[in-house]
Amino acid sequence: MGIPYRYIVRPSLRFLDSEKAHKLTVNGLSKFAENRGSQKLLSSIYRTPNLPINVFGKLFRHPLGLAAGFDKSAQALGAWPSLGFSWAEYGGITRYPQEGNPKPRMFRSNSDAALINRMGFNNPGAQSVRDTLAQREISGKWPNVPLAANIGRSKTVSNERAPHDYADTFNLLYDYADIFVLNVSSPNTPGLRELQEEDHIREVVNACTSIRDKRAGLKPILLKFSPDLDRDSILSCAGAALSSGIDGFVATNTTISRPAPKNTGSRNFLSESGGLSGRPLHEKSIQCIGDLYDSIGNKVPIIGCGGIESPDTAWNAISNGATLIQLYSALVFQGPSVVSQITNGLNKRLKVEGFSDIQEVVGYSRN
């Protein structure tokens, strides 16, 4: 199925605005994958091996999940397990509904294998998403894989009020996610990255853990880092988060830095403002993963995100310290077969290099 996507589907989608193409894809998946027959068909096509790993007290079939931003409003949750993902992250979700930034706000470059977005947390708001998820659960269509919720600060809320804003969203969605990711690092909400300071991080994390203490179950809370922080800033932020009870980290969000352009089209693409993801992000993501792992080891899990597009890039993230990994851009450029390609490639490399399971690979390049 990779060849038909690459030579038929993707060339057709390139004539559409990037955001329209994305919306068409998610809407199509949300409709097609809602019935058991369609899910069974997709699962038979996109087979993935068992590479079990236990994280946050849950068994993941393999490490690879869908990153936040693809299924913003949690509308296609039935599709992701059928395409081979072992877990999925929806969002980012804010407390209040948001239209996001002016369009156009999403761009792609085939030559760079990269995306730029300045979406601005466009979403229907936490209450609406909660209602949608509650209806899904009632109707018996809840996915059979762990789900993460990515939550961000509402644009109209000041950083001083941010802890309450995050906590309100966290509380509303508490029953409808297994893992929560605090997004304080998107470059597309004014002032948001200022929350990546020790005092702000403590306040945001403490606000959410205080809610968790009152709810049933201790659901893990993760902090998502920017790849544009230097090593000292990353480690000081990580220390503040750990002292406040954080359960893990996501490395990383998109970057505002830009590589050298490859051609005229690439130059035009890279001149757009917003967060860059895909292949050019991989090196910065690996640097952040490695810095975190060197500092904290196995104290809490690290989720690797950024330029995961092949068995080699997945292996690179895991061997540098990532327990779980995520992708987004590779799904756009390679289609759904990328999930089985990566996981089967990981399985083959495990055997070639003599590891008994994927857990043994975590951080081995740093030791």
Residues 6+ apart with CB under 8 A from 38: 32, 82
Nearest 5°: the CA angle 305, 205, 286 is 20
- Is position 244 annotated as part of the catalytic site? no
Could you tell me which CATH number the domain at 2-366 has? 3.20.20.70
Bridge-based pairing state of the strands 221-225 and 179-183:
parallel
> Can you read off the two tokens belonging to residue 327?
């992708």
**Residue 212 φ then ψ, to 5°:** -60, -35
**Tens of each residue's pLDDT in the chain, 367 residues:** 445 445 434 554 555 789 999 999 999 999 988 888 999 999 999 999 999 999 999 999 999 999 999 999 999 999 999 999 999 999 999 999 999 999 999 999 999 999 999 999 999 999 999 999 999 999 999 999 999 999 999 999 999 999 999 999 999 999 999 999 999 999 999 999 999 999 999 999 999 999 999 998 899 999 999 999 999 999 999 999 999 999 999 999 999 999 999 999 999 999 999 999 999 999 999 999 999 999 999 999 999 999 999 999 999 999 999 999 999 999 999 999 999 999 999 999 999 999 999 999 999 999 8
Which helix H or strand E contains 4, and what residues bound it?
Answer: helix 2-4
- Distance between CA atoms of 188 and 169, rounded to whole angstroms? 19
Dihedral class, residue 186 (left if φ above 0, else alpha if ψ from -120 to 50, else beta): beta
pTM of the model: 0.96
Q: Supply the DSSP symbol for 365.
A: G
DSSP state of 145: S
Amino acid identity for residue 204 in this structure: V
Residue 343, class by beta-carbon neighbours within 10 Å (0-12 exposed, 13-18 middle, 19+ buried)? Answer: buried
Distances (CA, A) of 327 to 35, 64, 309: 25, 8, 7
Question: What are the respective helix, strand and coil percentages of the chain, to the nearest 5?
Answer: 45, 15, 40
Give the active site residue among 18, 73, 185, 186.
Answer: 186
